[in-house]
Amino acid sequence: MPTATSFDVSAIRKDFPILAQEVYGKPLVYLDNAATSQKPKCVIDAVTHFYLMDNANVHRGLHQLSERSTEAFEAARSKVQRFVNAEKTREIIFVRGATEGINLVAQTYGRSRVGAGDEIVISTLEHHSNIVPWQMLCEEKGAVLRVVPINDRGEMEFDQLEKLLNRRTRLVAVAHVSNALGTINPVREIVRTAHRFNVPVLIDGAQAVPHMKVDVRNLDCDFYVFSGHKVFGPTGVGVLYGKEQLLESMPPYQGGGDMIRSVTFEKTTYNELPHKFEAGTPNIAGVIGLGAAIDYLNEIDMDAVAAHEIDLLQYATQALERIPGLRLLGTAREKAGVLSFLIDGVHPHDAGTVLDREGVAVRTGHHCAQPVMDRFGIPATTRASLAFYNTREDIDALVAGIHKVKEVFGA
């Protein structure tokens, strides 16, 4: 069992050149990892190498460069498959990010299976990306969006889920980890419960994959989405995992090149999985960079990462709880590295601005989770979010910065 001390964070930090810089004359303390994480040099090198040596379109050319780029692109798919323990590469669809993955399911599975009076179940915790696509679908189809509430700790009220499920439910779509509060949802139990009602489950794993091992077969989820840029890969690439049988039965998403088998003006037939859902030239460099990020994570050991982050989260939670006038939002018993907080008498944006001047990068606002803010009756929070390259010194800098905020605003 790895421990926090068996994890060499100073060696890890050397892999992330961007961290070794100053902002406003202070060492950069990057605590905005839930928005996007930094990239190790091997990822940057993989993208550079692709453009320097291998750049060509995929699945289209017979020439050497095209063969190389296709090989690297499909190798990345195999890496993703093993990373999430999917059964087949056919079940791995490359998309732009978690947002597009959810929209794809809403527009294909959703539009073909959801009718008037049917229901989709989500939770109060969701990011807008896992609310709005379902709202749009419900509006179009005359279906109903049901919402599982959360308690004061920011935990999903699991017993309410079962009460919302019925023969009209067509899908449950929930976050694995909340971006605004850090709550880890009991997704395995959620899947089990929904399956008892024969309802498929989509898990939004955008905030989970960077922090823990994800095994889609063990979870038995029907769809799982995540974004490359939060998992130390490039922006503009993400993954939709779907069970083969479901994906096979769904109509295509967008029409265009690569997703077809043959086209005539009378009739078009579609390509096989996964290409059926990948219309147009994909983000080839992004996919290859994501593959490099996965190689990097495989070297690190995600159990050691999780142990280090749990240690950091506990250290940070205790430190913030000691600050008078600071209120932490999201105190779930199962929690990942997110610290959302309010400082009495200080608007979160002002807190973020002062912290920035101290070299501490955090996010302020509603974090694209307005229903969470509404649940707690607030418009915004300041959010520090952790990655495995963060240290206890980073937390000390955050705490010092918060004291500075209080001093500036006399709070």
Q: Is 204 in the site for ligand C6P (CB under 6 A)?
A: yes
Q: Is 34 in the site for ligand C6P (CB under 6 A)?
A: yes
Query: Per the structure block, which two tokens stand in for 310?
Result: 């749990």
204 φ, ψ to 5°?
-90, 100
Nearer to ligand C6P, 208 or 304 (CB): 208
CB of 198 to ligand C6P, least distance (A): 26
Query: In terms of Cα–Cα distance, which of 341, 392, 382 is closest to 362?
Result: 382
Identify the residue among 156, 165, 172, 175 touching ligand C6P (CB under 6 A).
175
Contact 202, 208 (CB under 8 A): no
Nearer to ligand C6P, 70 or 183 (CB): 183
Q: Which stretch binds ligand C6P (CB under 6 A): 200-208, 210-218, 263-271, 373-381?
A: 200-208
Q: Is 39 in the site for ligand C6P (CB under 6 A)?
A: no
The amino acid at residue 262 is S
Catalytic residue among 42, 138, 221, 368: 368
The amino acid at residue 135 is Q
SS3 content of the chain, % helix, strand, coil (to 5): 45, 20, 35
User: Would the CA dihedral through 215, 219, 225, 231 be positive or negative?
Assistant: negative
CB of 270 to ligand C6P, least distance (A): 25
Count of Cβ atoms closer than 10 Å to residue 167 Cβ: 9
Cβ-in-10-Å burial (0-12, 13-18, 19+) of 264 comes to exposed
Query: Per the structure block, which two tokens stand in for 246?
Result: 């479901």
Q: Is 127 in the site for ligand C6P (CB under 6 A)?
A: yes
Identify the residue among 28, 121, 184, 206 touching ligand C6P (CB under 6 A).
206
Nearer to ligand C6P, 70 or 205 (CB): 205
Cβ-in-10-Å burial (0-12, 13-18, 19+) of 117 comes to exposed
Residues paired with 48 in a beta bridge: none
Instruction: Specify whether 221 is catalytic.
Output: no
Residue 227: half-sphere exposure toward Cβ, Cα within 13 Å: 21
Using CB under 6 A as the criterion, what x/- string covers residues 353-372 for binding ligand C6P?
----------x---xx----
Q: Is 276 in the site for ligand C6P (CB under 6 A)?
A: no
Q: Is 129 in the site for ligand C6P (CB under 6 A)?
A: yes
Nearer to ligand C6P, 131 or 306 (CB): 131
Q: Is 99 in the site for ligand C6P (CB under 6 A)?
A: yes
Identify the residue among 98, 199, 297, 402 touching ligand C6P (CB under 6 A).
98
40-69 residues in contact with ligand C6P (CB under 6 A) are none
Contact 83, 210 (CB under 8 A): no
User: In the complex, which residues of this chain contact ligand C6P (CB under 6 A)?
Assistant: 34-35, 97-99, 127, 129-130, 175, 179, 204, 206-207, 227, 363, 367-368
Which residues are marked as active site? Answer: 368
